[in-house]
Amino acid sequence: MSTSRARVTAACLTIRRAGAPVSLTVLARDLGCSARQLQRDFAEVLEVSPRQYGQAVRTERTRHALQSTDSVLDGAFAAGYGSVRAFYEEAARRLGMTPSEYAAGAPDQVLLWSSTSSDVGDIVAVATPRGLAAVRIGDAASVVEGLAVEFHRATLRHDDEAMADVMNALRHLARGESAAALPVDVRGTAFQARVWRALQEIPAGQTRTYAQVAAAIGEPTATRAVARACATNRVALAVPCHRVIRSDGSLAGYRWGLAVKTALLESERG
């Protein structure tokens, strides 16, 4: 294949068919290129490694497996894990809770949610008593439907009054205006937490490259890991991952779409 994008597309298709990480050596051999070349291709096109992409695919598969079976053990093997220990160690990090809690639909948790419209789309926020657990941008009905399925045993309570201050702050942020800092209640690895804190320190109207964020947290060689941490940010706007760009100044992928990322940056710059 002649272009890096074509090679990455083909490799991603192979990984998705496998449902889990595929050896870099195997991918490169099938594509007729060197492992080093394919590694560079992924860094250029997706800003994650083939293994990181495979882990994300397996996490997605894990979610589906846990939602479709009553047995966590069955879910572990259906998701492609070779051992229960590996399943619990990786899945707990990536799901934000233990597999048993996720499979149970987050029982006994009370989640408040509210939505508001903005120029970049509907904003849906979900909060626990400790802070924001999720902020998503898109069609409110679809987002809420997804949350209800994902956390089917949690109590999802629509409460516009209790969430009024939060939603007002998020509307200001979506317009590029300053707002009071919002407490967040998200679970991640220690590394992810460091990245998310660094993102909150980027002033509105400014951007940082992935490399600059990596340097700021004292991990100058962890550029791709920083990109992955940005991609797994669960609280859009409150943790402004839209302010992180590539080293050449171009915009990398954004969960809610590059059009939304562009609009947010332009509104902040005034």
What residues act catalytically?
A: 241
Show the 3-state SS of 198-225.
HHHCCCCCCCEEHHHHHHHCCCCCCHHH
Distance CA(245)–CA(235), nearest Å, equals 18
Residue written as token pair 């492992």: 35
The tokens describing 124, both together, are 């849906």
Q: Which of 105, 122, 104, 124 is nearest to 114 (CA)?
A: 124
Quick check: helix, strand or coil at residue 70? coil
In what helix (H) or strand (E) does residue 124 lie, and over which residues does it extend? Answer: strand 122-128
Contacts of 30-39 with CB under 8 Å at 24 or more apart are 31/1, 31/7, 32/1, 33/1, 33/7, 37/7, 38/7, 38/8, 38/11
CB contact set of 185 (below 8 Å; sequence gap of 6+): 127, 128, 130, 131, 132, 133
Determine the residue type at 107: P
Q: Which of 111, 93, 124, 90 is nearest to 185 (CA)?
A: 111
